Each structure stands twice: as structure tokens, then as C-alpha cells.
Structure 1
Amino acid sequence: MPQIKLYSTLTKHHFLAVAALIFCLTVSLQFFSPAIIAQVVNRLDGLVYDLKIKLLAPQTTNLTNIQIVDIDEESIAHFGRMPWSREKFAKLTQTLTEQGAVVIVYDILFSESQDSPVKDITRVLPQLSQNEQMLLNDYFDYDGAFALSMANNDIVLANLFHYHNKIKVGGFVKKSRVMNDASQNRFADQSISQKSIDADNMAKRSHLVKSTSSSENSNTLQENFVTFTGYTNPITRFSKVAAGQGFMNAITDFDGVVRRTPLVIEYEQHLFPSLALEAFRVYSLVDQINIEWEQSNNAYFEGVTIGNVTIPTDDSAQILIPYRGQKNHYTYTSAADLIQGKITDNRFEQAVVFVGTSAIGLADLQTTPVSVNYPGVEIHATVFDALMSPNNIPYRPDWWKGAIFIQLMIISLLCLLVFPHKDALFSVVFTVLIIISVITVNLSLWRIYRIDLPIVVLLLQTLIFATYFIGYGFFSESNRRKVIKSMFAQYVPGAHIDKLLSDSTAINLEGERKTLSVMFCDIRNFTSISESMPANELKDWLNSVFSPLTNEILRKDGTIDKYVGDMIMAFWGAPITDELHSQKSIHAGLEMLSNLTKLNEEFIQQGKPSVSIGIGINTGEMNVGDMGSDFRRSYTVIGDAVNLASRLEGLTKFYGVELLVSEFTQQQAPDFNYLLVDKVKVVGKSTPIFIYTVLKDEQQVTSDDFKYFSLAQKYYFNQQFELSEQAFNQINPDFNFSPLVSIYLKRIEAYKCEPPNEHWDGSYQHIKK
């Protein structure tokens, strides 16, 4: 045997032992794990299957016209809640027959006769003759009308199996199609204990069940079937004229998702077909369904045959449902429209029609890989569609365990041969290549051959090997990241640190001049609040306020600069460059205000003071970097643009608004709805600027008050004070920004007495910060 020179014999034996351990662990996980662990693995494989169905849904060509008649919300609203009178179903069946439907499948259980009002009528009118009573019975015989409509077409009815063995309603009636030279005769009734299953194969099935002591393999076959202990059937009056019956049960995986369906189920040592399978049998003009199973070393169910078509299944007679995309893949027609005669096209010509419901209150909505609230009737239609082209049904062949075992062995050998000789970077690349290869093989088998193989354990084994062999490099890298994160956590949020770790060139802590957006947020009336609360309660109250405010800033990629008493300072666009810093700062401000509304509701319930804040935001050039002294440093921003944001926050109380932004921020974030508040000169600045508040409700922009306000401002800045006053007075007193109206009216009153000089530019000089 060749020796690997890079490792000692002891090291090689160690790696070999670890590889063997990982191989045995993953094999046990796939094939011999306890039920709880197996459920987790199956759940993950189920999610992978869901993705394959969504992204690589089987593309088949409809071989027949499949239509769905939906008892939808509109139908319920028009005709009332279910159950409907049978006369409506009679009308529905008759209309579908007249419009060319060749098979009608009801995903509705007709297990009870409809009460007739004749008894009540005769009680009120005892003088009615017997003939009159008979006429009334005929007139109100809605069940009879429904049965008569079914006799004119091939109707497949639903039955329901359950686990209540004391509940057994109705009987099974077999409808056999008899052919002669002249025509396709209707059906001869024959009461039997099984529906549409070949007698010879049924005998074999009974032999397996009854002779459990003679064949160990018989137990294997028997235990795999989905088995029920009770049933509910359509009333005999309907069963006798229907062309077939099938169970409507939706079988879910343990996570509640309908990924597969049994074509046959077992009840009292007999097999019964699903609604879709029975519809396919009736549509195929076949009298019986043949069971395909094999008993050699292992006995297992192989599938069912209808005529010349064989549908392979797993050993529990189930198939994976090849969903064709989101719900409403097939044409839906409202039952109300059909009953009222609104459908006049030829959509039902030569159609197989499934009648069911998508109404939420009728509990026939299922969770599927492609959609939640997926109508159960469309599941039956999808299965029927799949039976028309069984080669496109995804399946898991009987040799799947051997295939997974071989793949696990190949991955183990490759990892053992490659990982010990390579550095961490190469090992990561090799791991990715193995994962891509495993996924490619799995998807190729799915896409080309419709073979569904589990993949989770294969990927897990690859990751376990990679984790073990590159563990040192992984932990070294992890430690390096922890050091970097601990160094910079005092400066920037975690999201920025993650970007730094992924791209160290994206950040610069040296001093630089950049265009950023800065925010100041201050709690109003904090002094009076602090005087009314003990120190510990004030600390907890302040933390309760700052936590959601800070969270919104960080969620919008802001950097917390500092907390000063009851004030928060934050900025956007550094240390990570962000072109959307203006928009994100405004989004953060709006979310902060929204959070305070919820927070104040909690404070009121707790008997604590409510809180209000003022927010000022400005965008402009400022110095940003690591600043301070030799004893203490801080990553912060300074400059006139920062001071302006602080002044805007102070002006929120003067103008009675919660949020003020400068014209520079407004220009860089034009997607918001703004209200011009004023043109001002703040303390320390001689150049006037326009300031705005952000409108939360888009309806405010179109309101008459908003239009009057904007018009009044236009007159005001043009020194047309009379017209401005008239426009302001047109605004309703309950206008959201009524304090602004009062401010302008006071100014106008003053300017009417003493007009501004000829150099007045419309701005207002503030003398307080």
C-alpha cells in the first residue's frame, strides 16, 4: 500500500477512524435513526422537495381538458352557505352535461339524504289527498333530481375514510361498464365489499393479510399501506347511478404538507381507490383496477394498472404529486355563474370536471409545497392530470437506498483522500464542489428521469467532513473575526462590522470629508419627567424609550454616534458608504415615531409618563472619522451640517411637528411626501434654508387643507398677505398642522401692521437654538 509521507501512520489511522465514524453516523442517520430524528431529516428533505417542485415543476402537456367548478366565496354569497340543496347540484350536473363534460368528479361528500318539506306541508294541510302528497313528494324530491341528472353522464363521487371504527355510513357499490356491439350500455349494479379492484389481485391481497404467519414478507406489504378503520359513503341512491367512487382524504406528511397521495388505501383487508384514480378509470372506460406487486426476497407494492397504463408507486401505494405551479393552474369557473347560465363558451367540451370548493370556511384548503390554502379539489385535478402522463410523475425507485449508500461511501473516500493534504482555502473550494456535484446529480435525476432522491444527509456528511478537516482554520478565522468585532463594536452596528469583515476596503476610520445624513433626536419635557420619577425608575423608563429608537436606527443601517442625556445622535453613510443615506435616515425617523405610538400605549397601561420626541435630519458635507484625544477617542461627525441638524431638532417644538428635515435632505430623498414648514435662518447661520416635515399619510397630500396651506404659503412668500390670510382661514381647525397655521397668521397680522422691508426674502430669523 502506498504511504502518505505527509502524515505518520498514527495520523493516517486517526483520519481513517474519523472518516469511518462519520460514514457510519450518516448511514445510521439516513436508514436507522430514531423516529424523532427521522422526522427532522424527512422534514428537511421535504423542504428540498418543495423547492424542486417550485423551481423545477414537471412540464407536461395536458392530454385532456381539465376544468374546475368552484363553490367559491361568490357562490356562497349568492346561494347561501353549504350544504346546498341537491336541486342546485342537479342543475350543475345537468348544465355540465349539456355543455359537453364527459366525466364529472365531485370532491363533495353526499352522505345524507336531503330532508323533504312534504311532512311539514301535510301536517299543516292534512286534507291533501294521497295523489297530491305523491305529487308533492315528486316535486320536492331533490335527491331524486340529482340522481336523475347523474344518470345522464359519468359521475364520480367522493367517500371519506377515517379512524372512527364505530362510524360506518353507507355501502360500497361497484359500477362495471359493460360493452356490447350496439352501444356503451349503462351500468349493472352489484353490491360488493370493494370498489373497482380486480378480483384476482384482491384475492392475492386477502391471502397476504390473512396468512401473516406463512410469510414474513406479507407483513411487510401489509404494514406499508395507509389504513383506515371507518368510512363515510354517499347515500345508496347516488352510489347506484354514479360511475364510480373514490376517497377524498388528503394525506399529509408529518409537517402538515400534502406532498404525496395514496392511489389506494386499505380498509378491512380490502383496497379502495382515490378520487383521482377512480376518475381516471372512468375516463379510460376501464372496468377494473389491477394491482401490481412483487413478492421475491421482499414483498412490495409496485403500482396499479388501468387498461394499458401502469402507474408506478412506492411500496405504500403512494405517488408524489407533481404540482404544476401555484394554485389556479387549471381553469376555474364559479359554480354560481354556471348554475345561473352565465357560461356560454365551450370550455367544458370533452372536459373532465372537478367540482369542489375554495371557500375558506368549508375547510378544504391544504398546505402544499407550492402554496398554502391550496384548494383540495385542485389537488385531485393535479393527480388526475398526472395519471394521464405517468412518466412525468416524480417517484422514488425501490433501489434508492442502495444509491444513497454508494453516494455516502464515495463522498467519504473523496474527503479522506483530499482534505488531509490541502490547506483551508482549497478545502472550502473542494467542499463547495462536492455540494454542487451532489445537488447537480440530484437535480439531474429529478429533471431528466423524475427520480426524487433524498439529499439532506449527503450534504450533511459533506459538511461534517469539511468541518472536521478544516476546523483549525475555521476556528482561527473565527477568533480573528471576534477580535476585529470587539475592536469596532464601540463604533458601528453589527451589520457594518460584518461588511468590514467581508470587504475590509469598504471602510475607513481615518478622518475624511463626506456627504452624510445626520439625525438628532431629543425627548421633550424630559426635565419635568425626570423630576417626577425616582432614579431607578427613570433609568428603566429611559432604557425602554431608547431601545426601540436605537433598534430602528440600526435596522436602517445607521451608526449611533452618542447618547447625551435624553438625546440620541446618529448618522448614515459612514463608515460604510451608502448612497441611500438620506432615504434611510427618514425611514428610520418615521419608524421611530411609529414605535413611540405603541410604546405610549404600554406606558399608559403601566401608569408611566408618555413620551414625545423631536427629530431633526440634515444632509451635507461633514468631517467624519476617529476623533478625540490620546485618552479617549470616538468615531463621530463634526461640521456645520451637523450643527444644522441639531438646530432643526430644536425647532420641532417651535413649529409643533415631530420631524423636520432640511431642503438638502429633501432634495436627495424625493420619494417622500413633504410639507413645506418654513424658510428660516437658524442661530449661527445667515443663509436661509427651507425646512420640511414628512407626511405619513399620502391622503394628506390630496386633501383640501393641504392645498389651501400650500397656496397660503405661496401668497405669504410673495408678500400677498391678504390673500395668504384668506387661504389660511379656509383651513379646518382640526388640520393636523394647525400650529403652523397659527404661526403664519400671527406673522401676517404683524406684517400687515408693519410690512417687511424691500430686501425681505421670506425667511424667519430664529434667535434661539
Structure 2
Amino acid sequence: SDIIIIAIDDQTFKACKDKYPFPRSYYATLVENLNEVGVRTIVFDIQFTEPDYKDPEGDQILAEAIKKAGNVILAGKVVRQFTRGGEYSFADTPIPVLMETGADWGVVGEIQDPDGFTRRYLIFEPLSDSFIYSIGMKLIFREKGLPSDPDFHFEDGYFVFFDSTGNERARILAHRGTRGYEQTVLINYYGPAGTFPTYSFSSVLDDADFDLKEDEDTDYMELFKKNSIYPYEFRIALLADSVRQERAFTALAMGDTEKVESIIQEENPFRDKIALVGVSIEELHDNKYTPFYEYAGVRKLMPGVETHAHAIQTILDNNYIKTLPLQTDFLLILLFCLVTVISVVLIRPIAGGVVTILVMGVVTFVSFYVFKNNNIWIYTTPILTGVFISYVSDVVYQFLAEQKEKKKIRSMFQTYMSPKVLKYLEEHPDAFSLKGEKREATMFFSDVANFTTISESLPAEELATVLNKYLSPMTEILMSYDGYVDKYEGDAIMCDFGVPIEDPDHAWKACWAALDQQEKLKTLREEIKRDHGVEIYVRMGINSGIVSAGNMGSNQRFQYTVMGDAVNQASRFEGANKVYGTWIMIGEETFERAKDKIEARILDKLVVKGKTKPITVYELLAKKGELDETMDKVRTYFMKGLECYWNREWDEAIEWFSKAIEVRGDDPPSRVFIERCKLYKQNPPPPDWKGDFVMTTK
């Protein structure tokens, strides 16, 4: 880089005899020494807006040095004061004696972002009808051959500057902020503090005429001055490069002093450089937070003068940080927010949270990548904020929707199923559908025998008491096996197993629930007989199959229920118990699914009303392994009787059915088949008869 920094640093405070603020004569010496060693331009980041009261003559000395040099840019500022009458602004320029030198000047105002970091550099400040340019821009004008206050216009995000003949000489990319383009440029920092070559202010003062403290006075600048008081031998000996030393001594031996001077100037760090003069010592509070504040794990503020250097180098190199068009920013925010929302909706909040973190990681990585490789600054904060807010909003919305769904589910099911199943439904609302779906289930129907007679014998209030005493324990048993109580119709109960939650054990659970109910009825029957004078016997029908499950009804009133042939058959089985004198009848599908858990016997090949195809039906006897020996013999004899019956061996069938009755004392199904055998002996069934029995009633 052509830029170097002359810093008032700790070494300066240690070496100089005077305390800060230094006399203006110090700065005059600085200007003279830098010009003697060939500096191209001197830019002060130090304001001389007040006279030097300690040494009034120092202002004149500095003015003379500046005028003689002709390559100095001074610093000032625009002061803005707010009063009751409004804003009052004025330019606080260098003192008149310095302004009379004809030296150019610019403002040094710093622009801090809300987080306190310096990322932008001022191009100009508007003041009344004019523009006050920054010291960096004044240097750019000088480097580009532009006048001090050039004409310009704004074009496609660039400030374009023209010389006096109308030729374009500089094009500077303006930063587009949240409110549009600004009169600022984004600083593309080249590194942390210390990136630019930096020399102590005291070192530049240190020549033969300027006295530092005894241990610090080395006359450093005499090494590079062409009119140095030191002989060439001494100056050559101070060169750092041994090869260069050898070349210089050879030239000196040949008497070629011009070549000696040329070799010495090769090591001159000031020759043809742009020197920015400012302070770096922390006590003077001109150090700034920059994006490189914690670079490589080291926290280090950057001197304000070096931020000018980075901004100037950015403009000289046309190394601008670009931003995306505003509409692109909005599209990116919308895109990533949509990705977040969709992911949360499709894969639920926890997995959606992982996707959200990945999205934020991708956005961050891509933004760093394109910034590093393409100098494009993607506004990641709005995108990340939008993604985060989208995630939180979606989660909150889903939470509220789930709470609403849970409330809806609870209102629909809380009196129809066990708390365990209800809790599962609330926590897994997607485990079932209210809109209607094909499901495999087992249906249970029960009805009190001779209920019409019972209801006619009891007052309404007492009948309600009897029903409650009966229905409450029956419901508890059904729910204990995860049954969903579909509906009550007077004394009748309809209960579904396997809906609304899928349950592979729905068949045997329905059977066990029926058996437990019959067992409970033994004690309950005595209690109701004692208290109300009536006996309760209950017939039950169970069937399994494919049903349509979901909300059924009108827009104003609906209920979760099941429909289908399997449902109708379960209802028919309940009623068919009357024909056989049984209490629990199950269908073939139920038996096949539950046979490892139950004891049952075949009853008949039954064709229910409205159907033509026979269904094998069974009487449910007991849980697996709990069938008593007597009933087991009855089942064996009854099965032999059925085989004879299906083979039209009527007398043999009657014999086996009679044995079943004899073992048990009474067996209603055997009595039914004995009567059928007698009937068929007199009126044989048609030749195509296969043992089925057609019901003519529901």
C-alpha cells in the first residue's frame, strides 16, 4: 500500500520532552521532515481548530511549514447543535492562520453503527447549500487529479466525480442502508489494527535538530534525508539489508554518491507515501471498534486514523463491498422464512427446529462465503431474525392449534374413553382422523334382555337409577380395555375397539371386556334385584372388520363413530343371542383374531337379515385357559352334534346335543339344534343346503 500511518503512541509519550497536547512546532517539524524524506501527501487526523495558547508562535511556524510543503490536508468537523429553534450547524475549520496557507481540509466525523462498530466512512456532509468532504475524500480528489470541490452526480448507486473539463475521474459506490442510499461507503477492512505500516510520531520528529529525551534521541530521520548531516559511511552502516549495504559501500568507494543516495532511498519507508497522522494511544480515546476487534481471539481496538487508511485504500482499489438489491433481500427473507414454516408444519417443531438451525447455519455460511470471495454483503441479520421469528411463530401457532385440537378432542371423547387413551389422543392428534378413514376395528353391542318389561315395572326416576347402576360399571370395564364408547341408546351400549387409535389387540380386548361385564353382572344383578326388584341380564354381540371411522352428522351436530357391514353384523349378533339362548356371540373375524386369548364354541352358520352369505358365529365362553371342565365337555359334545347336523345325520346329532344338555343340566343352544333336527327329519332342507340358518328378524 502507498499509505503509512504516523501515530502518536506510547513511544511518543515516552520519548518527547513536552506533554500532550504537543506544541504546534512539533507538527511543523513533522511536516518538514516528511517532506524532506519524500512523502507524497500528509493528511492530519488531528484538528487544529483552536489556537495554541501555550506557544502562540507555534501556529505561525506550522502555517509556514504547511505552506512551504503544499501537500498537507488538514482536519475539521461539522458541528450540529440542537436548540429550541431547531438545528444549528456550522463548519469548525482549522484556525485562520492555517486556512490562509491554502491547504485543503476535510471533516473527520466518525459514523458508528448501533452496535458501536465503525463500518461506514463519510463521503461528505451536507451543510447549507454545500458539501463538506471528509479528509479521505480530499485525498482521493488529490490522487485522482480532481479539484477540491468537484462536480458530481449520482448514478446506479455510485457517486461519479468529474474534473473541470467534464471528464469522469472517480466513481465511488455508496452504501445502501435501510432508508436508501447514504453519502457513505462501506469500509472493506484489510485486516486488524496494525495492518498498515505504522511509525511513531516521535521517530519522525527525531532528526539532528530535534531533541528527544536522552535515551530516545537517535536522529532516525537523518538516515533518509538527502541533506543529512551524517556522512554516508554512517548512514550506510544503519541500513538493515546487508546486500544493500554492500552495494552502497561499493558505490561510495567508486565515488558515485548519487548511486549511494539512490540505494539508501530504496530502504526509505516514507518515499512517495501517503502519510496519515493521528493518535493511537488509548488514553486519547480515538480507538474504534471494527469487524476485526476480536480477530484471531485477540481483542484489539483500531486507532481512528487507521480506519481512515482502510477507507481510503478501499476507494483507491475500487474494492467496494456490494449489497444485494432491496427486492432480492426481501425475496431471500421470504424464501428462508417459507422453508422454516413448511419444515415446522411438515416434520413437527423439534425436527423443524433442527432444520431451522441448519437453515440459519447455511445462511451464515453462504453470507461469509460470498463476502470473502465476492465482496457481497448479504444482510444476514434480517434473514436470521425472520427465520427465528417464523419458527417461534409457527411453533406458537401449532401449540395453540394443538391446544384447540386437544380441547376439541377432550370435548368429543372425555366421557367415551379411558383417561389413558384420551391423553394419548391429546398428545398425538395425528394418530387418527376426524374426516373419515378406513380402519380395522372390533365393535361391541349390548342390550338388556326384556328391558321393556323392566321399564314398565319401574317409575321413571327409579328406572334411571337402575340404568346408571348398570351402565357405570359396564362403561368402566369397556374403557379399561381401551374401548371407545360410541353411544348409549337407553339400555343399549355401542363400543368400538381399535378406533380412534389403532390397536392390534382390539379383538381380544373386546372379548375380555364382554366376559368381565358378564362376571360383574353376577354381583350387580343381586344388588339391583335386592334394591329394585328386577333382574338384569345382558346380551352382547361382537364383530371385527373394516369400517369407515370419523365424524358423522351435520355441520351443527356430529359425532365420531363407525359405519359399515361389520358394524351392522355386530348389532345382529347381539340380537341373535335370543335365538340360541346365549349371552355373548362373536363373529368369525373376531374369533380368528382373538382365538389365542379366548375360549369359544361354534354356534352356527348364520345368514343375518339382509344378507345372503352365511357367517360362522361363535359363543364366547371364557378367557384362554379359564374354561371349566364341565363347559369344555359341553363344547366337545356340541361340536360333534354340529358335525352330524351339517351332515344331515339328525338322530346322531340329537344324541350328541342331548349329551351336552345332560353334562351341563341345560344347554340352550343344544335344545335349539335338537328342535331343528326334529324339524328337518320331517321336512328335510333342500339338496344345496350346507348347514346355514337364515334369520328372518333383526
Shorter chain as normaliser: what TM range?
0.3 to 0.5
TM-score by length of 2: 0.41
Higher relative CO (Cα under 8 Å, sequence separation at least 6) belongs to: 1
TM-score by length of 1: 0.37
